[in-house]
Copies of this chain bind each other. A is one copy, B any other.
Amino acid sequence: MAEATAEQLADTTINDAGIVPKAEFSDRVPINSIISRADGGSGLAGRKARVGGWVKTGRKADKDAFAFLELNDGSCPGNLQVIVEAGLVAGDLSQVVPTGTCVVVDGELKLPPEGAKQKVEVRAEKVVHVGPVDPAKYPLPKMRLTLEFLRDFVHLRSRTNTISSVARIRNALAYATHTFFQKHGFLYVHTPIITTSDCEGAGEMFQVTTLLSEAERLEKELVENPPPTEADVEAARAVVKEKGEIVSQLKSAKASKQEIGAAVDELKKSKDTLSKLEERSKLKPGIPKKDDGKVDYAKDFFARQAFLTVSGQLQVESYACALSSVYTFGPTFRAENSHTSRHLAEFWMVEPEIAFAELKDDMNCAEAYVKFLCQWLLDNCLEDMKFMADKFDKGCIDRLKMVASTPFVRVSYTEAVEILEEAVKNGKKFDNEVKWGIDLASEHERYITEVKFQKPVIVYNYPKEIKAFYMRLNDDSKTVAAMDVLVPKVGELIGGSQREERYDVIVQRIEEMGLPLEPYDWYLDLRRYGTVKHSGFGLGFERMILFATGLENIRDVIPFPRYPGRADL
């Protein structure tokens, strides 16, 4: 990570030539290697370096003799001050000062004047590159832009302080995720994106198809090259008949082998022509349909209906039932027509699955994972977290510290409902009625974690009626071994369960829920052959980023948000 590099550098010597070591696959020194050092870079004064980045703020001074540039290269939230003399730029210094300009300079690191905020600055000796900006046209001028405005410029918004901090936090959480699971012996499994297992009902799934583009291609082709008419086909048939008669005549006339052979070849050719014409005359524009009028998916790319996955859980279970501890981390999709600040059509999920593990193990794993993520951000992303605390959510760093260090409260669903009923008795108003059997609403979850306990809470053993068929039925036959992890700020962060490993019980549950058995036949095989108790959970990755940063809208924590009506780039 960026920070590690900086620390490494701070701990090791600068090379003897007096030049700050450059990045390995570039000819410039990342800015964090200079200013994120413990000494803020002051220890590097006197060294030479090539630095590059984009101008955050630029101004001319001393009657246009100098330009002062705040350069940022995305390696850290901080900027490096670079001073450029007028003579170094062909033309006017006006070229290098606009916000967004890319500037690369060779220069000397110098201590700034007393009282300056920065601990080191660069005095340019040579301007190596300028990527100019016309300030009249640049969509991201130097001013506070709203996050909503920036959503119209997803290709440029990573140049802003907020979106670049989010990118670094997102990166850190992704690598922390892999590190945590690898450390604990989990194998990363790539579950499929295109799926034919429709486990949650096709209504909310995107369909993946080549039928529409094939139909368009065919329609175009038929316009350019119209299909044969019935007359064309008849004519070709007549030719076949004629050629056939010639062969017969030659045969009965005992013509030479050569003559007959040539006539047979002619006949074959005419038959080929006919069959091609017949084939083409059957081509119908539009989506291929079966006799009953339904779309003929046998003609689609996968010879059946295919969808974008809504979860890798069922598939990753098949790997857990062989490799024991596995996880998937990939994109998932919902074609839900919801325009809220909490829903995306494309989002990322982390889904571990553990064999030989019960609900208690699952809860232990979820708690350890969330704590690990929080501590990782404190250890590796503190500058970015300070930025978020400063601009968006004062409490976000304390929240990370609290979650990283506080044991999660664990209450059963029944206890949770009692707590809510108690609250109602004491005058708390909820929009949604509280009684045993309800699916906890967001307001209930947030009351439990934010008001009642003021710390993360795991609620477990939910009524079976409100949970999925694959969750393990408890001995009470009323509840299933499910668990949700609730945290302040976002409510539910994780949902998981012990899976039903008993063949008879899971078959009964599928039937109870009115689901067809056939699509789950492969899944039932995992219970038919060498069944094992196993448990897992899913964490919505964007939700974790909302929790960490305190941002309000999920569209701002994924680089390229997809939602109804929008899929830019």
Contact = CB atoms under 8 A, between A and B. Distances in A.
B208 A206 contact: yes
A73 to B, nearest CB: 5
Contacts of A490: none
Interface string A341-384: 00001101000001111100110110010000000000000000
B335 A210 contact: yes
Nearest to A568: B196
Given A193-B331, A533-B129, A208 B211 contact: no
Contacts of A203: 213, 217
Contacts of A101: 530
A318 B194 contact: no
Contacts of A158: 318-319, 322-323
B319 A206 contact: no
Contact of A323 (B155, B167, B210, B565): B167
A193 B193 CA distance: 9
Interface in A518-566: 522-523, 525-526, 528-533, 558-560, 562, 564-566
B192 A361 contact: no
A5 interface: yes
Contact of A185 (B30, B202, B567): B30
A74 interface: yes
Nearest to A54: B530
Given A175-B182, A212-B211, A212-B295, A331 B190 contact: yes
A218 interface: no
B564 A302 contact: yes
B322 A185 contact: no
A301 to B, nearest CB: 6
Interface in A460-516: 501
Interface string A311-343: 000110011011111000011010101000000
Contact of A30 (B55, B324, B533, B562): B324
A287 interface: yes
A536 to B, nearest CB: 10
A110 B348 CA distance: 46
A107 interface: no
Contacts of A456: none
A344 B530 CA distance: 31
A181 B184 CA distance: 21
A129 B569 CA distance: 52
Interface string A292-317: 00110000011110101000001100
Given A2-B185, A210-B335, A302-B567, A319 B533 contact: no
Contacts of A119: none
A96 to B, nearest CB: 11
A104 interface: yes
15 contacts: A23-B356, A24-B368, A53-B324, A129-B533, A155-B523, A158-B319, A159-B530, A190-B559, A192-B567, A193-B308, A193-B331, A203-B217, A207-B208, A207-B210, A302-B566
Interface of A: 1-2, 4-5, 23-28, 30, 32, 52-55, 73-75, 100-102, 104, 129, 131-134, 137-139, 154-156, 158-159, 164, 167-168, 170-171, 174-175, 178, 182-185, 187-197, 202-203, 205-213, 216-217, 287, 294-295, 301-304, 306, 308, 314-315, 318-319, 321-325, 330-331, 333, 335, 337, 345-346, 348, 354-358, 361-362, 364-365, 368, 501, 522-523, 525-526, 528-533, 558-560, 562, 564-569
